[in-house]
Chains A and B, each alone.
Chain A
């Protein structure tokens, strides 16, 4: 069974901390994505990557960075966590040019206090 695994289901961090959210996929997908989900706003794209060491900004990249050193792993970094980054974070991966859709991880619910 193909999988996208996010390292933590629930996370509580303090304001100002550096936070790492990890995502690993076992499907050899080229494309990986980080979204945040907030009530009434749907899913908003933070960053995505279409190859190792390649990254592109999504719609809301401010306050975030990413790292993709290996094909299977895509990390989201909150350089200095703030309370407005409290959210559900979803990682996804996909193959090819767009006909296959995404496979999602189970999500990480991050609370910044």
Chain B
């Protein structure tokens, strides 16, 4: 069965420092991987996705993610964090089985950027 894990409940980083939010996955076959961000009391917003091609994927708001097949990871990164990046981040993987493209989500990582 497909699954995704976010090992950190919270990540703290100072403004201006690089940030990494970790995600590992388990799938049979080639993975479709996604990152979403959720601001307080809002729905999730799409950040970026990996389907195929370059292992480094660039997305919205200056975020990027690196697909690493050997480590089955898809970590979210940003070179310089902003206070406004503070939010809840979800990694997701497409569930291969069934009639449609269900996504399986991780439990989320709260990113707190201190000024």
A contacts, CB < 8 Å to B: 4, 6, 9, 30-31, 33, 35, 40-43, 45, 48, 50, 56, 58, 90, 92, 94, 96-99, 101-107, 109
Of B15-23, B61-69, B103-111, the one contacting chain A is B103-111
Q: From the candidates A45, A90, A96, A99, name the one contacting B102 in the complex (CB within 8 A).
A: A45
Q: Which residues of B contact A102 (CB under 8 A)?
A: 36, 44, 46, 103
- Interface class of chain B by DSSP: loop
Whether the Cβ atoms of A31 and B100 lie closer than 8 Å is yes
Q: Which residues of B contact A109 (CB under 8 A)?
A: 41
Measured CB to CB, the closest approach of chain B to A51, in angstroms, equals 9
Whether the Cβ atoms of A105 and B43 lie closer than 8 Å is yes
Bitwise, B4-48 to A at CB < 8 A (1) or not (0) is: 000001000000000000000000000010101000011111100
Q: Is B90 an interface residue (CB 8 A)?
A: yes
Q: Which residues of A contact B9 (CB under 8 A)?
A: 40
Known A-B contacts A40-B107, A42-B105, A98-B94; A50 and B43 likewise in contact (beta carbons under 8 Å): no
Q: Which residues of A contact B101 (CB under 8 A)?
A: 31, 94, 96-99
Q: Which of B36-90 contact A (CB under 8 A)?
A: 36, 41-46, 49, 51, 90
Whether the Cβ atoms of B107 and A42 lie closer than 8 Å is yes
Whether the Cβ atoms of A101 and B103 lie closer than 8 Å is yes
Q: Is B115 an interface residue (CB 8 A)?
A: no
Q: From the candidates A35, A40, A99, name the one contacting B51 in the complex (CB within 8 A).
A: A99
What is the CA–CA distance of A92 and B90 in the complex, to the nearest angstrom?
15
Q: Which residues of A contact B32 (CB under 8 A)?
A: 98-99
What is the CA–CA distance of A50 and B98 in the complex, to the nearest angstrom?
10
What is the CA–CA distance of A31 and B108 in the complex, to the nearest angstrom?
23
Whether the Cβ atoms of B46 and A48 lie closer than 8 Å is no
